[in-house]
Amino acid sequence: MHTAVDVITAKRNGTPLTEDQITWIVNAYTAGDVSDEQFAALAMAIYFQGLTDAELFALTTAMLNSGTRLDFSTLGKPTADKHSTGGVGDKITLPLTPLVASYGVAVPQLSGRGLGHTGGTLDKLESIPGFQVHLSEEHIRNQLLDPGGVICAATAELAPADKKIYALRDVTATVDSMPLIASSIMSKKLAEGTDTLVLDVKTGTGAFMQDEADARRLAEKMVWLGKAHGVATTAVLTRMDTPLGYTVGNAIEIEESLDVLNGQGPDDVVELTLTLAKHMLAGAGIEADPAENLANGKAMDAWRAMVTAQHGDPDAPLPTATHEHYVTAPTSGVLSRMDARAIGEAAWRLGAGRQYQGQPVQATAGIRLHAKPGDSVTEGERLFTLYTETPEQFEAATRLVETAVEVAETYTAPEVIVDVIR
């Protein structure tokens, strides 16, 4: 018979936990038989002591098995999924899902909401008039048959242990623990039941794993966990020092995603979308250059069908902000830094993000960038346009974006794609 105190004490003292101990405490906590205080103590012990590979596998498996696991094997088509560890201006899911779906792959993108400085895919989609993110499993399955892509909220039955553990980590300063991040992401993603999983693991100032070595270790562990559970898993290590694209917010990121689907859009967003699409298609056994379906309109057709299937109006104008404010370049030269975290926090203050779960966001709030690192700027030239429905937030947001930029004589932007881990 296990007790929570025995499990906590063992982990605190650095003694590896058995699979049986881990399975028991995850199930007991999910059922309410272990208190928040006790699991918080265990999470902190894991934060400091780490987990062995055997412990990490057992924790991920226990969280995965705490709820239902979707099964799309009867769809008659390959399935592929993508997960990003979170960034600023990271709108990649929006063009990527219909692009991969346009090649006959089922893409069940169960996504989340923004918290802190990183944006949420569901918040962005809800800026489209009528768009519904809460769907039944039957609706998800039908939409995966046609048009093939769906972006929606996870059902409550998927990995309920993770939902409860994550909420606890969020208020106990144990979010940025590599084994807890890996088990959280992979339990959710494995529960989605896809054949192929591609992970976009961010590194840099705007990422949760800012250090590249830490991000690489996280990517390697998640790839190992995926393969150990029978899912073809690849991780792409990508740079997140500067926001992706030229928009940070909700409706304005939809606008930029539509540019990509129209065969245009910012180079970094297009490059990352195509890179992830290639890996997803390869995992699904499809040899194709995804740039073709961006150019010929098939990806846009899939997007419009997907929005319509989720009760949205693909032709409706996106909402625009009532108030805007300009921030200009402090001096002339080459833009050498644009800190993603500061930009993300400024967008959050303007109303694009939330401080706590359940807080409403503004569809129209955000920041438009008029230059990126490597661009020449002139003193007094517009660098940012800030949008909000709460103009009293302009002052705080302006201070943040002013600290985010530096101008130098020269600058060479680093590559967006750092490495691919298989």
* Residues assigned a catalytic role: 83, 162, 169, 184, 188
Integer Cα distance of 82 and 80 in angstroms: 7
Plot region of 380 (φ>0 → left; ψ -120 to 50 → alpha; else → beta)? left
The single-letter code of the amino acid at 149 is: G
E strand or H helix at 78: none
Burial class (CB in 10 A: 0-12, 13-18, 19+), 194: buried
Query: Beta strand pairing status for 107-111 and 149-153?
Result: parallel
Q: Which residues on adjacent β-strands are paired with residue 406?
A: 337
Q: How far apart are CA 353 and CA 345, in angstroms?
A: 8
CA–CA distance, 275 with 332 (Å, rounded to integer): 34
What value does the CA radius of gyration of the chain take, rounded to a whole number of Å?
21
Alpha-carbon dihedral sign for residues 148, 96, 112, 389: negative
DSSP 152-220: EEPPTTB-HHHHHHHHHHHTTT-TT-HHHHHHHHHHHHHHTT-SEEEEEEEESTTSSS-SHHHHHHHHH
* Cα 63 → chain centroid: 20
Work out the end-to-end distance of the chain between its first and last CA atoms, rounded to an integer number of angstroms. Answer: 40
Cβ-based neighbour number of residue 129 at 10 Å: 16
Give the span between the Cα atoms of 393 and 340, in whole angstroms: 19
Task: Please give the helix or strand (H or E) that residue 108 lies within, else none.
Answer: strand 107-111
Token pair 């290590």: residue: 237
Residue 141 contacts by C-beta under 8 Å, 6 or more apart in sequence? 72, 75
**What CA–CA distance (Å, rounded) separates 275 from 7?**
43
Residue 386: its H or E element: strand 382-388
Partner residues linked to 388 by β-bridges: 323
User: On the CB side of 338, how many CA atoms lie within 13 Å of its CA?
Assistant: 30
Place of tokens 């924790």: 59
